[in-house]
């Protein structure tokens, strides 16, 4: 789910975001260089909704990322450029391929996006404009890289454990 909009009251926008997160039992990844959302969550006992800073993913773009924040992402220019590359890569990836009547067909990820406003933002996007949906998508790309890193780390630990447990079982 997503909501994109601007209201006269910043707190009202923050409340909508927190309510969506609660409804879906989700965390919120946000740009913490705009501190108002974090402050709102602290003030309204919603800090638990904030996603932790994805340092593993950020360290792929920055040599020595600052550990100043515990939640959210400080979207610096180098990190933003990295996230743009991730987004473009994902958008252009093959989602599905099939053959029909001897003709090979390919469905790209971008062809599965049914939000016309988001597609319009992707088409119009430049690094200096105000593109809320694209900014949120870039955060998602960083978050997904973090999840991949965590899954790979867990799989490595499990593989090591299984290898050693098998050694113990087989050889003891």
Place of tokens 């933003």: 80
Phi and psi angles of residue 93, each rounded to the nearest 5 degrees, phi first: -70, 150
In the structure encoding, which two tokens stand for residue 87, read together?
Answer: 């987004």
* 3-state helix/strand/coil string of the chain: CCCCCCCCCHHHHHHHHHHHHHHCCCCECCECCCCHHHHHHHHCCCHHHECECCHHHHCCCCCCCCCCCCECECCCHHHHHHHHHHHHHHHHCEEEEEEECCEEEEEEHHHHCCCHHHHHHHHHCCCCCCCHHHHHHHHHHHHHHHHHHHHHHHHHHHHHHHHHHHHHHHHC
What pLDDT does residue 149 have? 64
- Whether the Cβ atoms of residue 41 and residue 50 lie closer than 8 Å to each other: yes
* Residue 130 Ramachandran class (φ > 0 left, ψ -120 to 50 alpha, else beta): beta
What pLDDT does residue 32 have? 86
Taking the chain (172 residues) in runs of 10, the rounded mean pLDDT of each run is 80 93 92 86 96 89 82 91 92 91 93 90 90 90 79 54 46 39
Strand partners, 55: none
Question: Structure pTM?
Answer: 0.79
* Residue 69 Ramachandran class (φ > 0 left, ψ -120 to 50 alpha, else beta): beta
Spatial distance between the Cα atoms of 32 and 89, rounded to a whole number of angstroms:
25
What pLDDT does residue 153 have? 58
What pLDDT does residue 170 have? 42
What pLDDT does residue 83 have? 93
- Whether the Cβ atoms of residue 80 and residue 138 lie closer than 8 Å to each other: yes
What pLDDT does residue 66 have? 76
What pLDDT does residue 172 have? 38
């Amino acid at each position: 789910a997503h909501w994109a909009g601007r209201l006269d009251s910043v707190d009202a926008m923050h409340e909508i975001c927190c309510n969506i997160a609660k409804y879906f039992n989700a965390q919120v990844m946000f740009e913490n260089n705009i501190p108002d959302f974090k402050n709102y969550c602290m003030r309204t006992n919603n800090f638990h909704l904030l996603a932790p800073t994805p340092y593993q993913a950020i360290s792929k773009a920055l040599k020595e990322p600052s550990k100043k924040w515990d939640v959210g992402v400080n979207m610096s220019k180098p990190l933003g450029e990295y996230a743009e590359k991730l987004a473009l890569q994902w958008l252009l990836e093959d989602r599905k391929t099939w053959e029909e009547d001897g003709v090979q067909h390919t469905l790209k990820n971008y062809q599965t996006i049914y939000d016309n406003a988001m597609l319009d933002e992707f088409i119009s996007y430049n690094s200096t404009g105000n593109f809320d949906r694209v900014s949120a998508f870039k955060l998602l790309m960083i978050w997904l890289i973090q999840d991949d890193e965590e899954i790979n780390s867990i799989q490595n630990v499990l593989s090591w454990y299984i290898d050693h447990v098998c050694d113990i079982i087989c050889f003891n």
